[in-house]
Amino acid sequence: MIDPEEQPSSFIHHNSTQEPARRDIGHFLFGHPLQTADEGHQTIRKRVGLAVFASDALSSTAYATQEILVILAGAGTMAFGYVFPISIVIIGLLAIVVISYEQIIHAYPDGGGAYIVAYDNLGRYPALIAAAALLIDYILTVSVSVSSGVAQIVSAYPQFFEYRVPLAIIFVAFITLINLRGVKEAGAAFAIPSYFFIVIMLLLIGVGLFRMFSGSLGVVLDPPHVENLGKSTLTNFALAFLLLHAFSSGTAALTGVEAISNGITAFNEPRSRNAGITLIWMAVILGVLFIGISFLARAVQAVPSEAETVISQLARTIFAGPGWLYLFVIVGTTVILILAANTAFAGFPRLSAMLAHDGFMPRQLTYRGSRLVYSYGIVSLGAIASVLIFIFQASVTRLIPLYAIGVFLSFTLAQSGMARRWWRSGRLKSADNPSHAAHGLQYDKGWFIKMLSNGFGAVCTAIVMGIFAVTKFHDGAWVVLILTPVLIGVFVFIQRHYTSLATGLSLDHYGEPPPYLSRHRVLVPLSSVHQGTLAALRYARILSDDVTAVHVSIEPEDTERARKHWEKWGRGTRLVIVDSPYRLFLEPLLIYIEEILATRQPNEIITIVVPHFVATHRIHNLLHMQTAELLRRELLSTPGVVITEVPYQIL
Amino acid sequence: MIDPEEQPSSFIHHNSTQEPARRDIGHFLFGHPLQTADEGHQTIRKRVGLAVFASDALSSTAYATQEILVILAGAGTMAFGYVFPISIVIIGLLAIVVISYEQIIHAYPDGGGAYIVAYDNLGRYPALIAAAALLIDYILTVSVSVSSGVAQIVSAYPQFFEYRVPLAIIFVAFITLINLRGVKEAGAAFAIPSYFFIVIMLLLIGVGLFRMFSGSLGVVLDPPHVENLGKSTLTNFALAFLLLHAFSSGTAALTGVEAISNGITAFNEPRSRNAGITLIWMAVILGVLFIGISFLARAVQAVPSEAETVISQLARTIFAGPGWLYLFVIVGTTVILILAANTAFAGFPRLSAMLAHDGFMPRQLTYRGSRLVYSYGIVSLGAIASVLIFIFQASVTRLIPLYAIGVFLSFTLAQSGMARRWWRSGRLKSADNPSHAAHGLQYDKGWFIKMLSNGFGAVCTAIVMGIFAVTKFHDGAWVVLILTPVLIGVFVFIQRHYTSLATGLSLDHYGEPPPYLSRHRVLVPLSSVHQGTLAALRYARILSDDVTAVHVSIEPEDTERARKHWEKWGRGTRLVIVDSPYRLFLEPLLIYIEEILATRQPNEIITIVVPHFVATHRIHNLLHMQTAELLRRELLSTPGVVITEVPYQIL
């Protein structure tokens, strides 16, 4: 403890790492502040990093194949054969995206999400587009992952089918609570379920392939009913559209691939290299699982259904019935889906904090460690995701059209940004003014080939986004296409406010500071004289020598009593009695204050000291006039008036 | 304007009748404060008084007959014949109640509602029962009257039938708004519709009787379908129950009779006499209308229906079709029903204010003229009435079971109170200690006959209440029987709080006041240095010489900038920099404050001066940390700390 009195210097550095002794229940429920933001001090190895960052990407294998089949069903069961070729194309796309992100990881070793890369290389508006897309995407990650998780449970326990919406909302509420308490994004909590999922899925695929080639693999017994099964004859155009549509749905497999690029700082040094290797490992596992599931889904003739997921059909066919292994698959899939939802709860506030830091979101969000403000973001995320689950009845198929478009928009912007960066890097050699260079930009020998690779990635993802927007427009993509500009509008609105405020409050051209205040009048409104009033008077007397107590006279007896009490306890302080012919309280007080204000001198300030009863039970607050609150509402914009509550309580 | 400086006396009487110059939009929407509470200055003549106070009572003729028929339908169409004898019994009851209230009016010339009479003569709990019953009753007056008004409109315009719930809620919202603006309970606004209703109804009855005796009155053409038409054979017991049940429904005709006794002070002198005469006139008109409608309803064979009211069936039969006269009846009835709902909006806050004055409701309600608090009561009344309309689908028949029980409970209590009063009055002659006497009690020669008359009234209304509670228990009367004790519990809870508070804060055994505060430390938390911070500093410097600015260091660059700015603009004020390793803002500040508090001396107080940005648009408030609000939440119950916001705005 540093006593400021004893410090001769006018700058005192106060160091304290102990925690405040908070008394409220929130502390018990939500836990002590955690050191989550302090990522630099505690880095992780590749194998942990894989578990931490891969859940989002890997979990999408739980629904991507099924969503391809859902669309193909529109052309009849024969069309299900296209699932494998479509999956191959998606794996190709995955490779392109991963190569692009590999380059981002090395160019932005401090973490480079689409927002940062776009801001750095393309400018403000592309960055805001990426940010809006990502925020929407985080919300949908929660909705889609939890809905898919519930779909897995419901597949194993069909009796819960009709409760899937409340079930999903309970899951979201649970994750929200967990995050309000604070979770570390590291350690066994993530590693065990992630590796369990990888192992059980590889086992599923391995056994499936073995049984298939040994000829013992049959087809799904008693498959669920397929809704929306279409005719098998389509025009060439309709078929092409259908295939593109199915492809769009399948691209959901790529969601979450960008996660590692946001969290590079969490890795051990050399972090870019470690993160890059982890990214490639993750992509390989993702590719194997996705292609394996798609291949086997076709082999066992799994069908898309809201009642039973493709994963469930696969597992019970390959493992010959709903035994332990089947249950492991279901549990593993559900848990990794919940973990994936959980990563959005980390990403959403992190991105919000970046946006807030740049002035595009409320500045309070930058204090992302502070529970008081951090929690708003978490609760909003949980609430919006729940609303979406309710609106779309926890159906992954109905949520998917809103999902991947934002992901691909951010992919495209990130890679365009990178392409522009390499182009600039190439020009650096000849140009002599590196002042306009983006963050850490230096000449790179391989700039041309890197530019081509990122550029090709950008073109591919842009095409996918276009396909997505066209084929899924009707299904719900339009919502995202409207929401994105609205969000950008909000960002710009907020930034304008901060900019104009900073200009208005700036001291740069402020000249001399105003002179000291020379006169301080203090008013103490009171309705009766009691210990609380005396506490306010005691405080008022230390503020100024010019104290006036003001009593609004409503009942003559009350006024008489107050006057008598004041004579004894008022210590000679002036008491003004204001008549209230209409039994009003606030209005006569305001008139009196305004009359005082009218004769105010330039360097005078008026403080209104209001006794404020602090109730032991919150309900009691309803029984007391919130005089200070009412005065504040009336006088907040009046210069020269300060309203102070002096709390008193019965001890 | 009185300048307190120039007054040698320490008591100054400040007289001001001008209105405050308020700037907010509420002023435009809701109007200037009115002198409603100032009833003594502006009294009314009998004929205006009748119009003002009779709307509630007279309007009940619009549904009372119909509600009798609804129950009688349970015994088949033949049972409709009982409507006339039942109406006669109800008129007898009306006479008894009116004689009782006549005596109340003379005994309580300052206004005597059931609450006052019961409090004065029976004590606290009976008074609270009466108050609870009346509050419930005011709410139901709004719901029933508006629902019945809408039923009239729907009778004339059946195409609106399916919109009757929204229509009713719109009406309630309209009355609520009107009352938020403030209405005077007097003048042409009331007189014209009330007399129009009386005239048009007398015309209806007159023409009806004339046509009946001249033999030209037919029966209702194309009558609406009767729901719930029962068998015509009933056991004697069942029939008796049915008749009592029908009678209970019909007693709704008596609701509103007590209105005049609440508003005696509004009449010209001799006010008790004028009010008494008006009461008798009102009762006569009510009796004539009610008996006339019941008689003619039977004559034209009107049937009860949600689709068309009895009034509508009567009017189109008597006036031979839906012409102008028919429309006048419908409009007149609707308007008086809306006016009746409006009277509840005056009665509810008036009773609340009385209860608040006696400490049973939040004290703020006593400032009943002040819009800021008065409006809560009006909005609550409108909201609860709307909820009831929604729950009961704007059906008068379904609302009625909740309605009259409260009215009769208050009748019974008022008359029991009066009976007790006369008994006491009789004893005064012999007893020599009038100290326990109730308000204004003196010996009355006719005490015995008056006691008998009030006592008989009390017994009658008590019996009716009993019949009501039994026959209507199932239909909804149980709601009221549960709600009343709950409300009484709330009253008692509130009163206990105020009593214990007054004891705790009392100065009676307070001894010496605590010594003056001897030391005042001021802290100014700041995140950056700008004009707003300087305004806070300027204010802090006039409060005390011991000022410390506190900066929570989150970003090193921000801290460096703040430190530099402070060197130039801080006027040598001490700046303490508090480290925040977790990027928290509030928590390190709280630790620092608690450390300061730990070394606090007994007579020391600490003020935290927080710069507070005043946004020109309310939405901008979301973009700023409400630091003072957060600190207040944490430190409100800590003695010795006062939190002050210094507002700053960009001008």
Q: How confident is the model at residue B488, as a pLDDT?
A: 93
- Nearest partner of A543 among A642, A614, A467, judged by Cα: A642
User: What average pLDDT score do residues A138-148 get?
Assistant: 93
Distances (CA, A) of B534 to A205, A512, B573, B609, B641: 68, 11, 11, 11, 22
- Highest mean pLDDT range out of A6-15, A201-210, A531-540, B615-624? A201-210
| B598 chain-A contacts, CB cut-off 8 A | 1
The chain B residue lying nearest A578, using CA atoms, is B14
- DSSP conformation class of B585: S
Quickly count: other Cβ atoms within 10 Å of residue B393's Cβ: 13
Residue B434 has pLDDT above 60, yes or no: no
Distance CA B638, CA B445 (A): 64
How does the average pLDDT of chain A come out, rounded? 82
> Which of A426-430, A435-439, B189-193 has the lowest average pLDDT?
A435-439
B630 interfacial to chain A (CB closer than 8 Å): yes
Q: What pLDDT is recorded for position A202?
A: 94
Q: Is the pLDDT of residue A624 over 80?
A: no
- Look at residue A334 and tell me whether its pLDDT is greater than 50: yes
Neighbouring residues of B365: CB distance < 8 A, sequence distance ≥ 6: B349, B352, B353, B355, B356, B373, B374, B376, B377
Q: Residue B210 CB: number of other CB atoms within 10 A? A: 12
Q: Rounded CA gap, B30 and B150, in Å?
A: 26
Q: Is A46 exposed, middle or buried (0-12, 13-18, 19+ CB in 10 A)?
A: middle
pLDDT at position A232, please?
A: 63
Q: Does A512 touch chain B (CB under 8 A)?
A: no
Residue range B201-219: mean pLDDT, rounded: 90
* pLDDT score, position A6: 40
Q: Is the pLDDT of residue A88 over 90?
A: yes
pLDDT above 80 (res A386) = yes
> CA A420 to CA A426: how far, in whole Å?
10
Interface membership of A504 toward B (CB under 8 Å): yes
Minimum CA–CA partner of A368 in chain B? B583
Contacts of A14 in chain B (CB under 8 A): 550, 576-579, 592
Q: How far apart are CA B485 and CA B518, in angstroms?
A: 52
3-state secondary structure (DSSP) of residue A646: strand
Q: Is B2's pLDDT higher than 60? A: no
How many CB pairs lie under 8 A apart between chains A and B? 295
Query: In this complex, is the C-beta atom of A598 within 8 Å of any C-beta atom belonging to chain B?
Result: yes
Cβ pair A254, A407 in contact under 8 A: yes
Side chain identity at B465, as an amino acid letter? M
Of A506, A595, A605, Cβ closest to residue B1: A595
Minimum mean pLDDT range among A42-51, A179-188, B47-56 = A179-188
The mean of the pLDDT values for chain B is 82
Q: pLDDT tens digits, residue range B533-569?
A: 888 898 999 888 899 999 988 888 888 988 988 888 8
Give B595's contacts (C-beta < 8 A, 6+ positions apart). A1, A16
Give the C-alpha separation, B611 to A340, whole Å: 42
> Which of A542, A570, A592 is closest, CB to CB, to B520?
A542
Confidence (pLDDT) at B23: 37
Instruction: Please tell me the predicted confidence (pLDDT) of residue B89.
Output: 93
pLDDT score of A283: 93
Is residue A20 within 8 angstroms of chain B, CB to CB? yes
ipTM: 0.71
List pLDDT tens digits, range B364-423.
777 655 555 567 778 888 999 999 998 888 888 888 888 888 888 999 999 999 899 888
Q: Which residue has the higher pLDDT, B511 or A193?
A: A193
pLDDT band at A80 (very low <50, low <70, confident <90, very high): confident
All residues of chain B having their beta carbon less than 8 Å from the beta carbon of residue A380 are none
Using CA coordinates, name the residue in chain B closest to A371. Answer: B584
Q: What is the pLDDT of residues A211-258, one digit of tens each?
A: 989 888 888 888 887 766 666 667 778 888 888 889 988 988 888 888
pLDDT at A187: 54
DSSP summary character for residue A362? -
**pLDDT bucket at B480, cuts 50 / 70 / 90:** confident
Interface touch B590/A538, C-beta < 8 Å? no
- Position with higher pLDDT, B4 vs B301: B301
CB within 8 Å: A584 and B370 = yes
- Lowest mean per-residue pLDDT among A179-188, B253-262, B607-616: A179-188
Give residue-wise pLDDT tens across range B127-147.
999 999 999 989 999 999 999
Inform me whether the pLDDT recorded for A411 exceeds 80. yes
Residue A329: the pLDDT is: 93
Q: Does residue A291 have a pLDDT over 90? A: yes
Contacting A residues, span 225-284, partner chain B, CB-CB under 8 Å:
none
Which of B367, B620, B622 to mutate: most A Cβ within 10 Å? B367
Q: Considering only CA atoms, which of A219, A253, A210, A238 is closest in space to residue A87?
A: A253
Query: Of A2-6, A344-348, A596-600, where does the model show the most confidence?
Result: A596-600
Other residues' Cβ atoms within 10 Å of the Cβ of residue A81: 10
Closest partner residue to B563 (CB to CB) among A11, A538, A542 is A11
Band of residue B444 on the pLDDT scale cut at 50, 70, 90: confident
Nearest to A542 among B500, B565, B605 (CB): B605
Mean pLDDT of all residues in A320-341: 90
Please say whether the beta carbons of B232 and B75 come within 8 A: yes
Range with lowest mean pLDDT among A612-616, B110-114, B170-174, B428-432 = B428-432
Note whether A531 contacts B: Cβ–Cβ < 8 A: yes
Range with the largest mean pLDDT of A595-599, B169-173, B568-572: B169-173
pLDDT tens track for B328-358: 999 999 999 998 888 888 788 878 888 888 8
Closest Cβ opposite residue B531 in set A11, A510, A645 = A510
Mean pLDDT value across residues B468-489: 87
3-class SS of residue A608: strand
Per the CB < 8 Å rule, is B642 touching A539? yes
Which residue out of B13, B373, B579, B634 would a mutagenesis test of the A interface target, given it has the greatest number of A Cβ atoms within 10 Å?
Answer: B13
Q: How far is B78 from chain A, CA to nearest CA, in Å?
A: 51
pLDDT tens digits, A531-584: 888 888 989 998 888 999 999 888 888 889 888 888 888 888 889 988 887 777
Query: Pick from A485, A42, A98: which is nearest to A269 by CA?
Result: A42
The arithmetic mean of pLDDT across residues B439-462, rounded, is 83
**Which residues of chain A neighbour B15 with C-beta distances below 8 Å?**
578-579
What pLDDT was estimated at residue A40?
43
**A163-183 pLDDT, tens per residue?**
889 999 999 998 888 777 665
Task: Go through A86-109 and write b for each residue having 16 or more CB atoms within 10 A of its CB, e for each that does not.
Answer: bbeebbebbebbbbbbbbbbbbbb
Least confident segment among A454-463, B233-242, B624-633: B624-633
